[in-house]
Structure 1
Amino acid sequence: MPAIDLLTVLEALLFVAPGAVSPAQLAAAMEVPPADVERSLDELDHLYQKSTPPRGLRLQRYRGRVQLITLPAAAPAVERFLGLEASSRLSRAALETLAIILYRQPVTRPQIDLVRGVNSDYVLKSLLLKGLVQEVGRAEAPGRPILYSATPECLQYFGLASLSDLPPLNLEV
Protein backbone atom coordinates (compact mmCIF):
# COMPACT_ATOMS: atom_id res chain seq x y z
CA MET A 1 0.00 0.00 0.00
CA PRO A 2 1.54 3.41 -0.91
CA ALA A 3 2.33 5.70 2.05
CA ILE A 4 -0.45 8.20 1.30
CA ASP A 5 -3.01 5.41 1.02
CA LEU A 6 -1.73 3.85 4.23
CA LEU A 7 -2.11 7.14 6.09
CA THR A 8 -5.60 7.69 4.68
CA VAL A 9 -6.78 4.20 5.61
CA LEU A 10 -5.18 4.47 9.06
CA GLU A 11 -7.02 7.73 9.75
CA ALA A 12 -10.30 6.19 8.56
CA LEU A 13 -9.86 3.15 10.84
CA LEU A 14 -9.09 5.36 13.84
CA PHE A 15 -12.16 7.45 13.04
CA VAL A 16 -14.53 4.46 13.04
CA ALA A 17 -12.88 2.61 15.95
CA PRO A 18 -15.18 2.50 19.00
CA GLY A 19 -12.26 3.36 21.30
CA ALA A 20 -8.52 2.95 21.68
CA VAL A 21 -6.96 0.22 19.53
CA SER A 22 -3.53 -1.34 19.35
CA PRO A 23 -1.20 -0.82 16.40
CA ALA A 24 -1.32 -4.62 15.93
CA GLN A 25 -5.10 -4.47 15.44
CA LEU A 26 -4.67 -1.71 12.88
CA ALA A 27 -1.89 -3.61 11.10
CA ALA A 28 -4.07 -6.73 10.89
CA ALA A 29 -7.00 -4.78 9.45
CA MET A 30 -4.75 -3.03 6.94
CA GLU A 31 -2.74 -6.17 6.14
CA VAL A 32 0.58 -4.37 6.62
CA PRO A 33 3.51 -4.85 9.02
CA PRO A 34 3.08 -3.22 12.45
CA ALA A 35 6.22 -1.13 11.83
CA ASP A 36 4.45 0.55 8.88
CA VAL A 37 1.50 1.37 11.13
CA GLU A 38 3.81 2.82 13.80
CA ARG A 39 5.53 5.04 11.22
CA SER A 40 2.17 6.18 9.86
CA LEU A 41 0.88 6.89 13.38
CA ASP A 42 3.93 9.09 13.98
CA GLU A 43 3.31 10.88 10.68
CA LEU A 44 -0.40 11.37 11.42
CA ASP A 45 0.41 12.63 14.92
CA HIS A 46 2.88 15.10 13.42
CA LEU A 47 0.26 16.30 10.91
CA TYR A 48 -2.29 16.93 13.66
CA GLN A 49 0.19 18.71 15.93
CA LYS A 50 1.82 20.93 13.31
CA SER A 51 -1.30 21.87 11.36
CA THR A 52 -2.00 25.59 11.05
CA PRO A 53 -4.71 26.42 11.86
CA PRO A 54 -5.06 23.60 14.40
CA ARG A 55 -7.16 20.63 13.35
CA GLY A 56 -10.13 19.50 15.44
CA LEU A 57 -8.64 16.07 16.09
CA ARG A 58 -5.49 14.67 17.62
CA LEU A 59 -4.02 11.28 18.43
CA GLN A 60 -3.99 10.02 21.98
CA ARG A 61 -1.56 7.22 22.86
CA TYR A 62 -1.82 5.41 26.14
CA ARG A 63 -0.48 2.03 27.25
CA GLY A 64 0.24 0.79 23.76
CA ARG A 65 -3.12 1.85 22.34
CA VAL A 66 -4.14 4.80 20.18
CA GLN A 67 -7.34 6.66 19.40
CA LEU A 68 -8.58 9.84 17.75
CA ILE A 69 -9.88 12.44 20.18
CA THR A 70 -11.26 15.93 19.70
CA LEU A 71 -9.10 18.93 20.43
CA PRO A 72 -9.71 19.99 24.06
CA ALA A 73 -10.31 23.59 22.96
CA ALA A 74 -13.30 22.36 20.93
CA ALA A 75 -14.92 20.65 23.94
CA PRO A 76 -17.56 23.32 24.68
CA ALA A 77 -18.87 23.27 21.10
CA VAL A 78 -18.76 19.46 20.93
CA GLU A 79 -20.66 19.18 24.23
CA ARG A 80 -23.33 21.64 23.04
CA PHE A 81 -23.65 19.82 19.70
CA LEU A 82 -24.08 16.45 21.43
CA GLY A 83 -26.39 17.88 24.09
CA LEU A 84 -24.04 16.93 26.91
CA GLU A 85 -23.77 18.71 30.21
CA ALA A 86 -20.78 20.98 30.51
CA SER A 87 -17.84 19.20 32.10
CA SER A 88 -18.04 19.44 35.85
CA ARG A 89 -15.15 21.18 37.47
CA LEU A 90 -12.89 19.16 39.69
CA SER A 91 -12.33 20.14 43.32
CA ARG A 92 -8.89 21.08 44.58
CA ALA A 93 -8.74 17.72 46.40
CA ALA A 94 -9.58 15.88 43.17
CA LEU A 95 -6.92 17.81 41.25
CA GLU A 96 -4.32 17.07 43.95
CA THR A 97 -5.21 13.39 43.90
CA LEU A 98 -5.09 13.22 40.11
CA ALA A 99 -1.70 14.93 40.07
CA ILE A 100 -0.32 12.35 42.51
CA ILE A 101 -1.76 9.49 40.45
CA LEU A 102 -0.55 10.90 37.13
CA TYR A 103 3.02 11.38 38.32
CA ARG A 104 3.37 8.27 40.52
CA GLN A 105 1.10 5.66 38.94
CA PRO A 106 0.43 2.96 39.75
CA VAL A 107 -0.13 4.18 43.30
CA THR A 108 -2.08 2.96 46.34
CA ARG A 109 -4.57 4.95 48.42
CA PRO A 110 -2.24 4.91 51.47
CA GLN A 111 0.52 6.40 49.28
CA ILE A 112 -1.89 9.10 48.06
CA ASP A 113 -2.99 9.79 51.66
CA LEU A 114 0.65 10.10 52.74
CA VAL A 115 1.40 12.73 50.08
CA ARG A 116 -1.84 14.68 50.64
CA GLY A 117 -1.78 14.35 54.44
CA VAL A 118 -5.51 13.50 54.55
CA ASN A 119 -7.82 10.59 53.80
CA SER A 120 -8.56 10.29 50.08
CA ASP A 121 -11.33 7.65 50.11
CA TYR A 122 -14.14 9.97 49.01
CA VAL A 123 -12.05 11.72 46.35
CA LEU A 124 -10.89 8.40 44.88
CA LYS A 125 -14.46 7.08 44.74
CA SER A 126 -15.54 10.25 42.94
CA LEU A 127 -12.68 10.00 40.43
CA LEU A 128 -13.49 6.33 39.82
CA LEU A 129 -17.16 7.21 39.15
CA LYS A 130 -16.12 9.96 36.73
CA GLY A 131 -13.92 7.47 34.87
CA LEU A 132 -10.75 9.49 35.44
CA VAL A 133 -9.05 6.83 37.59
CA GLN A 134 -9.05 3.04 37.37
CA GLU A 135 -8.00 0.11 39.52
CA VAL A 136 -5.08 -1.68 37.88
CA GLY A 137 -4.21 -4.39 40.39
CA ARG A 138 -2.97 -4.86 43.91
CA ALA A 139 0.36 -3.98 45.49
CA GLU A 140 2.63 -6.67 46.88
CA ALA A 141 2.41 -5.12 50.36
CA PRO A 142 0.65 -5.99 53.61
CA GLY A 143 -3.11 -5.95 53.05
CA ARG A 144 -2.57 -5.97 49.26
CA PRO A 145 -3.85 -2.41 48.70
CA ILE A 146 -5.46 -1.53 45.37
CA LEU A 147 -3.27 0.18 42.78
CA TYR A 148 -4.73 3.14 40.89
CA SER A 149 -3.76 4.76 37.61
CA ALA A 150 -5.18 7.44 35.36
CA THR A 151 -7.47 6.49 32.47
CA PRO A 152 -7.24 7.67 28.86
CA GLU A 153 -10.28 9.84 29.70
CA CYS A 154 -8.20 11.55 32.38
CA LEU A 155 -5.52 12.38 29.84
CA GLN A 156 -8.19 13.63 27.47
CA TYR A 157 -9.75 15.77 30.23
CA PHE A 158 -6.43 17.57 30.66
CA GLY A 159 -5.69 17.73 26.93
CA LEU A 160 -2.76 15.32 27.12
CA ALA A 161 -1.98 12.92 24.29
CA SER A 162 0.20 10.77 26.58
CA LEU A 163 1.84 10.80 30.02
CA SER A 164 5.01 12.17 28.40
CA ASP A 165 3.08 15.43 27.81
CA LEU A 166 2.96 16.07 31.57
CA PRO A 167 5.13 19.02 32.58
CA PRO A 168 8.24 18.07 34.54
CA LEU A 169 7.63 17.73 38.26
CA ASN A 170 9.30 20.60 40.13
CA LEU A 171 9.97 19.50 43.70
CA GLU A 172 11.67 22.76 44.76
CA VAL A 173 9.57 24.75 47.22
Structure 2
Amino acid sequence: MKSYNILFLCTGNSARSILAEALITTLSSGKFIGYSAGSNPAGRVNPFASELAIEMGYPKEKLRSKNWDEYSLPDAPQMDFVITVCDNAANEVCPIWLGHPSIAHWGFPDPASVEGTDVIKREAFQKTLLGLKKNIEALIYLPIDQLDLFSLKKAIQDIHDK
Protein backbone atom coordinates (compact mmCIF):
# COMPACT_ATOMS: atom_id res chain seq x y z
CA MET A 1 0.00 0.00 0.00
CA LYS A 2 1.27 3.46 -0.92
CA SER A 3 1.54 5.90 1.95
CA TYR A 4 0.99 9.63 1.61
CA ASN A 5 2.71 12.47 3.47
CA ILE A 6 0.35 15.09 4.81
CA LEU A 7 1.27 18.37 6.47
CA PHE A 8 -1.18 20.20 8.74
CA LEU A 9 -0.48 23.91 9.19
CA CYS A 10 -1.52 26.37 11.84
CA THR A 11 0.00 29.58 13.08
CA GLY A 12 1.35 28.36 16.44
CA ASN A 13 1.63 24.60 15.80
CA SER A 14 0.65 23.89 19.39
CA ALA A 15 -2.90 22.52 19.23
CA ARG A 16 -5.02 21.92 16.09
CA SER A 17 -2.23 20.97 13.70
CA ILE A 18 -0.62 18.77 16.36
CA LEU A 19 -3.92 16.95 16.95
CA ALA A 20 -4.40 16.48 13.19
CA GLU A 21 -0.87 15.06 12.83
CA ALA A 22 -1.51 12.57 15.64
CA LEU A 23 -4.98 11.63 14.39
CA ILE A 24 -4.05 10.92 10.77
CA THR A 25 -1.00 8.93 11.80
CA THR A 26 -2.79 6.80 14.40
CA LEU A 27 -6.05 6.28 12.47
CA SER A 28 -4.83 5.61 8.92
CA SER A 29 -2.99 2.30 9.48
CA GLY A 30 0.02 3.58 7.55
CA LYS A 31 -1.88 5.09 4.62
CA PHE A 32 -0.87 8.58 5.79
CA ILE A 33 2.19 9.89 7.60
CA GLY A 34 1.20 13.03 9.44
CA TYR A 35 3.34 16.11 9.96
CA SER A 36 2.52 19.52 11.39
CA ALA A 37 4.08 22.96 11.50
CA GLY A 38 3.31 26.62 12.05
CA SER A 39 4.10 29.96 10.48
CA ASN A 40 4.96 31.35 13.91
CA PRO A 41 5.40 28.28 16.14
CA ALA A 42 4.70 28.60 19.84
CA GLY A 43 7.79 26.58 20.65
CA ARG A 44 5.83 24.13 22.78
CA VAL A 45 2.86 21.82 22.38
CA ASN A 46 -0.22 22.80 24.37
CA PRO A 47 -0.53 20.38 27.34
CA PHE A 48 -4.17 19.54 26.48
CA ALA A 49 -3.21 18.67 22.88
CA SER A 50 -0.27 16.63 24.14
CA GLU A 51 -2.51 14.74 26.56
CA LEU A 52 -5.02 13.85 23.81
CA ALA A 53 -2.32 12.85 21.31
CA ILE A 54 -0.65 10.54 23.82
CA GLU A 55 -4.04 9.03 24.77
CA MET A 56 -4.60 8.07 21.13
CA GLY A 57 -1.23 6.32 21.04
CA TYR A 58 0.90 8.97 19.35
CA PRO A 59 4.52 8.87 20.57
CA LYS A 60 5.30 11.66 23.03
CA GLU A 61 8.75 12.16 21.49
CA LYS A 62 7.15 13.17 18.16
CA LEU A 63 5.19 16.01 19.75
CA ARG A 64 7.10 19.14 18.79
CA SER A 65 6.14 22.65 17.75
CA LYS A 66 8.05 23.50 14.56
CA ASN A 67 8.31 26.12 11.83
CA TRP A 68 6.82 25.36 8.43
CA ASP A 69 10.11 26.33 6.77
CA GLU A 70 11.43 22.97 8.01
CA TYR A 71 9.24 21.26 5.38
CA SER A 72 10.27 23.47 2.47
CA LEU A 73 13.94 22.44 2.65
CA PRO A 74 15.34 20.19 -0.09
CA ASP A 75 15.93 17.25 2.29
CA ALA A 76 12.45 17.48 3.90
CA PRO A 77 9.84 14.80 3.23
CA GLN A 78 7.88 15.65 0.09
CA MET A 79 4.24 16.33 0.92
CA ASP A 80 1.34 14.90 -1.03
CA PHE A 81 -1.17 17.06 0.86
CA VAL A 82 -1.02 20.31 2.82
CA ILE A 83 -4.03 21.31 4.92
CA THR A 84 -4.35 24.50 6.92
CA VAL A 85 -6.47 24.09 10.05
CA CYS A 86 -6.64 27.71 11.17
CA ASP A 87 -7.84 30.76 9.31
CA ASN A 88 -4.71 32.81 10.02
CA ALA A 89 -2.38 30.26 8.40
CA ALA A 90 -4.72 29.93 5.42
CA ASN A 91 -4.33 33.64 4.71
CA GLU A 92 -0.54 33.76 5.02
CA VAL A 93 1.96 33.38 2.22
CA CYS A 94 3.16 29.80 2.54
CA PRO A 95 6.54 28.47 1.48
CA ILE A 96 6.84 26.79 -1.89
CA TRP A 97 6.08 23.11 -1.36
CA LEU A 98 8.12 20.71 -3.45
CA GLY A 99 6.12 18.26 -5.54
CA HIS A 100 3.00 20.45 -5.83
CA PRO A 101 0.87 18.85 -3.10
CA SER A 102 -2.92 19.11 -3.04
CA ILE A 103 -3.79 21.99 -0.73
CA ALA A 104 -7.00 22.54 1.25
CA HIS A 105 -8.28 24.58 4.20
CA TRP A 106 -10.18 23.10 7.14
CA GLY A 107 -10.70 25.99 9.56
CA PHE A 108 -11.33 25.14 13.21
CA PRO A 109 -11.61 27.54 16.17
CA ASP A 110 -8.50 27.60 18.35
CA PRO A 111 -9.15 25.53 21.49
CA ALA A 112 -6.03 27.04 23.08
CA SER A 113 -7.73 30.44 23.13
CA VAL A 114 -10.61 29.20 25.29
CA GLU A 115 -10.62 30.73 28.77
CA GLY A 116 -11.93 29.13 31.93
CA THR A 117 -11.35 26.07 34.03
CA ASP A 118 -9.37 23.05 32.87
CA VAL A 119 -12.71 21.24 32.38
CA ILE A 120 -13.88 23.95 29.97
CA LYS A 121 -10.53 23.94 28.15
CA ARG A 122 -10.55 20.12 27.84
CA GLU A 123 -14.07 20.30 26.39
CA ALA A 124 -12.85 22.78 23.75
CA PHE A 125 -9.95 20.50 22.83
CA GLN A 126 -12.26 17.48 22.71
CA LYS A 127 -14.66 19.34 20.38
CA THR A 128 -11.80 20.26 18.06
CA LEU A 129 -10.49 16.70 18.17
CA LEU A 130 -13.91 15.32 17.17
CA GLY A 131 -14.20 17.77 14.25
CA LEU A 132 -10.72 16.91 13.01
CA LYS A 133 -11.42 13.20 13.43
CA LYS A 134 -14.58 13.43 11.30
CA ASN A 135 -12.64 15.13 8.48
CA ILE A 136 -9.64 12.83 8.76
CA GLU A 137 -11.74 9.67 8.68
CA ALA A 138 -13.41 10.94 5.49
CA LEU A 139 -9.98 11.68 4.00
CA ILE A 140 -8.67 8.22 4.87
CA TYR A 141 -11.51 6.61 2.90
CA LEU A 142 -11.18 8.79 -0.21
CA PRO A 143 -10.22 6.74 -3.29
CA ILE A 144 -7.11 8.89 -3.76
CA ASP A 145 -5.56 6.74 -6.47
CA GLN A 146 -8.74 6.96 -8.58
CA LEU A 147 -9.04 10.76 -8.62
CA ASP A 148 -7.33 13.25 -10.90
CA LEU A 149 -5.59 16.19 -9.21
CA PHE A 150 -8.50 18.63 -9.62
CA SER A 151 -11.07 16.14 -8.33
CA LEU A 152 -8.81 15.19 -5.44
CA LYS A 153 -8.33 18.81 -4.37
CA LYS A 154 -12.08 19.41 -4.55
CA ALA A 155 -12.85 16.22 -2.61
CA ILE A 156 -10.44 17.15 0.18
CA GLN A 157 -11.92 20.64 0.48
CA ASP A 158 -15.48 19.29 0.29
CA ILE A 159 -14.80 17.10 3.33
CA HIS A 160 -14.74 20.21 5.51
CA ASP A 161 -17.31 22.25 3.62
CA LYS A 162 -20.13 19.73 4.13
TM-score greater than 0.5 by the shorter chain: no
TM norm structure 1: 0.24
Q: Which protein is richer in helix relative to its size?
A: 1
Instruction: Return the index of the structure with the highest Cα Rg.
Output: 1
Higher relative contact order (CA 8 A, sep 6+): 2
TM norm structure 2: 0.25
